[in-house]
Amino acid sequence: MADLSVNFAGIRAPNPFWLASAPPTNSGAQIHRAFEHGWGGAVWKTIGAPVLNISNRYAGLSIAGQRLLAINNVELISDRPLDVNLREIAEIKRLWPDRAVIVSAMVDASPEAWREIVMMIEDTGADGIELNYGCPQGMSERGMGAAVGQVPEMCELNTHWVTSVTKLPVIVKLTPNVTRITEPAHAAIAGGAHALSLINTINSIMSVDLDTLQITPSIGGRGTHGGYAGPAVKPIALNMLTELLTDDLVLRSGVPVCGMGGIQTWKDAAEFLLLGAGAVQVCTAAMHYGYRIVEDMIDGLSNWMDDKGFATIPELTGRALPQVSSFGELDLGYQAVARIDPDKCIQCNLCYVACNDTAHQCIDLVAGNGVRVDPGYDMRVNGKAVADTRPTPVVREPDCVGCALCANVCPVDGCITMVSVPGTQQSVSWDALTAQRPEIASSWDAMMAYRAEQGIEIH
């Protein structure tokens, strides 16, 4: 059985599955219950400045009957008394010495405020501190959270105030609400951060109720922006994780990154690990399904690692990163086409509609007798049959550009696959091509001449 234990910036845990700082880690009783289910660690819901929360606090995104594809929250940091949180943190660490207990903190941007809270956290015996520079609502208006994370100079300064007064590992939690995620990451590293975590929630307004005309969630007839999280944000999180772990400065620093954002299953977690995360944090999925989901996460990841021959988490960490490339380095000569399995096709024609209306018009509808037909065709014209069965979509491969839209709209798994075929044009990247022939990038005449040489036809 695979060894799932991790050592993240000196913080040890029996597995990489940690609960993120959020409502699931609001109290000692909750975290105790979570650890009983098998979670490897927990980041305590952010403690620090005094707050008052409101209601309603959440709005969910549901599509076609699927609930909570994303969640928007306008909840602030912990509203429980500081002394209560500190006492419970110490108790949890005493009861669960083998689990990672990390305390998320947020205070006013001053060295005195940070020193005070850090000393209190150290006294609990916690394993580490996570600096919350990501909260996009409520706290940012008070000069905390994202207000720090969005300004690299403030990020570096606040981080230095913490790392200069504690020996505990300090994790800086980055906000995704920036243009370049590497800039606050560089600042955090310059401030002495021992690790990074991302992503925090994305600034958002979830929806407008078309009956009441009110923003959701509605707080006494008013609404505001909040933090967007859940399965729908996973691609954004994976991209930002990759941006960090392909950045020269981050790589040279050796600072590990804890990944989060949309993790719901062991497969999601494996993707984060393969892109370089040293551990992962989960929030929305636990809010949706409860703490027990970690049991499937542990079993699923362990079984997959056994199947792939990975004995430990470090063996798989970052294994997908070498494939990451810029567009300019991709092979322009690589070619793939869509192939439709007629035995799996349910003849819904979604692929035809998508291709014909919005892509490259290379799928035909072909009746059982081989007659090409259009949607809405009449089975009989002048009394003669033109099709004897419901038509089946067929790809004209010479015209297919391999965009893969059809494969993505098809409702049947494995019905449409993208198949590599021998390329008909030069195997070269855009960067290499334009280095050899720079005029191609600035002149359409030069571009058309190159296409003619290569036999490239755009229909």
3-state DSSP assignment of residue 395? strand
Count of Cβ atoms closer than 10 Å to residue 67 Cβ: 9
What mean pLDDT is predicted for residues 175-199? 97
How many residues are listed for the chain in this entry?
Answer: 459
Which pLDDT score is estimated for 79? Answer: 95
Taking only the tens place, the pLDDT of each residue in 198-248 is 999 999 999 999 999 999 999 999 999 999 999 999 999 999 999 999 999
CA 266 to CA 274: how far, in whole Å? 12
Closest Cα to residue 282, out of 274, 296, 348?
A: 296
Residue 379 has pLDDT above 70, yes or no: no
Which pLDDT score is estimated for 388? Answer: 52
CB neighbours of 157 closer than 8 A, spacing ≥ 6? 109, 191
Closest Cα to residue 398, out of 455, 341, 330?
A: 455
Residue 111 has pLDDT above 50, yes or no: yes
Please state which of the ranges 58-72, 292-306, 436-450 shows the lowest mean pLDDT: 58-72
Share of the chain above pLDDT 90, in %: 88
Which pLDDT score is estimated for 381? Answer: 47
Beta strands at 128-132 and 100-106: parallel, antiparallel or unpaired = parallel
Which pLDDT score is estimated for 140? Answer: 85
Active-site residue set: 135
Which pLDDT score is estimated for 199? Answer: 97
Residue 306 has pLDDT above 50, yes or no: yes
Residues paired with 42 in a beta bridge: 19, 101
Mean pLDDT, the chain, rounded, equals 94
Share of the chain above pLDDT 70, in %: 95
Which pLDDT score is estimated for 370? Answer: 66
What mean pLDDT is predicted for residues 310-314? 98
Which pLDDT score is estimated for 58? Answer: 92
Which pLDDT score is estimated for 141? Answer: 83
Taking only the tens place, the pLDDT of each residue in 424-455 is 889 999 999 999 999 999 999 999 999 999 98
Taking only the tens place, the pLDDT of each residue in 126-168 is 999 999 998 888 788 888 888 999 999 999 999 999 999 999 9
Say if residues 434 and 329 touch (Cβ distance below 8 Å): no
CA 377 to CA 384: how far, in whole Å? 13
What mean pLDDT is predicted for residues 271-291? 98
Which pLDDT score is estimated for 173? Answer: 97
Say if residues 103 and 121 touch (Cβ distance below 8 Å): yes
CB neighbours of 200 closer than 8 A, spacing ≥ 6? 132, 133, 134, 135, 136, 146, 149, 173, 174, 175, 176, 227
Say if residues 130 and 158 touch (Cβ distance below 8 Å): no
Residue 279 has pLDDT above 90, yes or no: yes
CA 175 to CA 198: how far, in whole Å? 7
Residue with token string 């009861």: 95
